[in-house]
Amino acid sequence: MSDIETISAFNASLARETEARILDGHLLRLGVEAILQDPNKGWYAVAVSSSCSGQSQVVGQILITFEWSDWRNGNFWWLQSLYIDQQYRQQGVFRQLYDYVYGQARENSEKVCGFRLYVERENHQAHQAYAHMGFQKTPYQMHEIDFSEKQHSSHTSAS
């Protein structure tokens, strides 16, 4: 819980940088708090840097959520909300977070059948980084209905 403000700020920056979206700060904080209070929803791993004065600060994060696969009788871990503070990028912070999460998956008592993630279509740098780490494109495309969006006018129902 001590990192809730930083995680919330990183998530807001992530949305702004990758999708040019401005998130509702209050709703975002509630969402982060829900994860931190309920490990069944997921968990955050954070990277911390220590200064010469002994002060430490969170410089990166990754969120892990779960998707049960009946086909595999196990959980996929979704890697989400990955964000590295701008001044710490290209310094191996993501790799350290990923290696930690990978180790947790391999050691976890739950059956973890794999990792999944989604990447904004035009984020070519991220596509290359994930491919370099062994992630492969799937034949699936993501589709969604976002009930939190204000517009539901395109939904029709049969009577």
Supply the pLDDT for residue 155.
Answer: 54
| Max CA distance (Å), the chain | 67
pLDDT digits (tens, 9 = 90+) for 114-146: 999 999 888 888 899 899 999 999 999 989 998
* Alpha carbons 15 and 110: distance in angstroms, whole number: 31
Q: What tokens does 129 get? A: 């980084």
pTM of the model as a whole: 0.87
Domains of the chain: 4-132 (3.40.630.30)
Spans in the chain with pLDDT lower than 70: 109-110, 150-159
Supply the pLDDT for residue 158.
Answer: 59
Q: What tokens does 2 get? A: 């001590």
Question: Left if phi > 0, otherwise alpha if psi is -120 to 50, otherwise beta: which for 5?
Answer: alpha
